[in-house]
Structure 1
């Protein structure tokens, strides 16, 4: 279960819109103080919104992050299943040929 969000989504969306529409571009630290949020949180929201909008950057979009998380979870399950199958096959191989050295 994910941790509860410290800031509501409406605040995040409003802060990102404000940073995009403000002229001249506001200083993130000052804007964060005005909104009552941590400046690094605001910077991350803006960067993520830019990635979601298709802007240049090295961040994954939100949908890509969700897909990556699901694939990592599936990969972990497959690794666990392979470990169980490997152990079971060794057990049954030993049962079929008891003279075989271990």
Structure 2
């Protein structure tokens, strides 16, 4: 069996097989890179960061709104 025949037998593009082999080396620790588990963890962390940024924006807007609501209006008498 030749290297060219393997992707044909699996029904994938040769570059796909190359990427799988490269990722397997990274996952095994024989080559530098981001492992599959690290990649999944990174995706989850990015989702969490996005959610926290959205929550922070809501809180920032609420604080701005509430601070405007507490300002004295025209004709208000404050002691």
TM-score (norm 2): 0.80
* Match runs of 1:1-102 below 5 Å: 27=3, 29-57=4-32, 59-98=33-72
CA positional deviation for 1:98: 4.0
Distance (whole Å) between structure 1 residues aligned to residue 39 and residue 15 of structure 2: 20
CA positional deviation for 1:41: 1.1
1:60 aligned counterpart, secondary structure: coil
Relative contact order higher in (CA < 8 Å, ≥ 6 apart): 1
CA positional deviation for 1:37: 1.2
Q: Is there any run of 5+ residues in structure 2 with no aligned partner, and where?
A: 74-79
CA positional deviation for 1:31: 2.5
- Please identify runs of 4+ aligned residues in structure 1 that moved more than 4 A: none
* C-alpha RMSD over aligned residues: 1.9
Which of structures 1 and 2 has the bigger CA Rg?
2
How many residue pairs get matched?
73
Q: Is there any run of 5+ residues in structure 1 with no aligned partner, and where?
A: 1-21
